[in-house]
Structure 1
Amino acid sequence: MIVEMRVYYCAPTRLPALLARFRDTTLGFFEKYGIEQIGFWTTVVGQDNHALTYMLKWDSMAQREARWSAFQSDEDWIAKRNETERHEPIVARIENSFLAPTDFSALRYPISG
């Protein structure tokens, strides 16, 4: 299993729009493509309170590439995403990381390629 952590930094005042897009649209596409979430978090205290952090679980990098590519190229998803940003952008910047547990982590799993 591989864990991907994604952080979306929103344009000022646009976090509610991003949360609505995930709740009302994106999660349906995740389900369609078999993209499994671990969880979603907003920042309460930290450097940027306009951020959404979430984690996804993958069986392998090959699975991640196939499913994420299919999701990102879905014409319905592209149209719905573009509609939510028709008047102004929502996301200013995205960071993503792939995480591996330490040998002393409470959550341990094998890393696969």
Structure 2
Amino acid sequence: MIYELRVYTAVPGRLPDIMKRFDTITLKLWEKHGIRQAGFWTTVAGPSINDLTYLLAWESLAERETKWAAFGTDPEWLSAKAETEANGQLVANIANSFLQPTHFSSVK
């Protein structure tokens, strides 16, 4: 397994809108495309309380490329993204890293 760590820094005041979009739109579309989430977190204390952090689980980088490309070009996603950003951008920055569990990790 490979895990993708993604951190979305929200435009100030827009974190609730990002979370609503994931909850009501994005997760359903990920299910449609076979994208598996491994958890979501918000920052309680630390450098940025405007962050939404999540993990995606992939069998391989090839699986990620295929499924992420299909999701990213899905007309339903493109329409929903445009609609939810009609009053302005939600995400100021996206950072992502690909992680591989160690042999002693409780997560495999």
Q: TM-score, normalised to structure 1's length?
A: 0.92
Cα distance between partner residues in 2 of 1:19 and 1:47: 19
Q: CA deviation at 1:57?
A: 0.4
- After superposition, the CA RMSD in angstroms is 0.9
SS at match of 1:95: strand
Q: Contact 2:39–2:56 at 8 Å: present in 1 too?
A: yes
**Partner of 1:43 in structure 2?**
43
* CA deviations over 1:52-72 (Å, ceiling 9, x no partner): 000000011111000000000
Cα distance between partner residues in 2 of 1:6 and 1:29: 17
**Partner of 2:32 in structure 1?**
32
**Partner of 2:102 in structure 1?**
102
Cα distance between partner residues in 1 of 2:76 and 2:105: 39
Cα distance between partner residues in 2 of 1:75 and 1:105: 38
Cα distance between partner residues in 2 of 1:71 and 1:106: 29
Q: Structure 1 stretches of 5 or more lacking a match? A: none
Q: TM-score, normalised to structure 2's length?
A: 0.96
Aligned length: 108
**Partner of 1:80 in structure 2?**
80
Q: CA deviation at 1:76?
A: 1.2
1:60 paired to 2:60:
yes
Task: Give the aligned residue type for 2:69.
Answer: S
Runs of 4+ in 1 over 3 A off after TM superposition: none
Identity %: 50
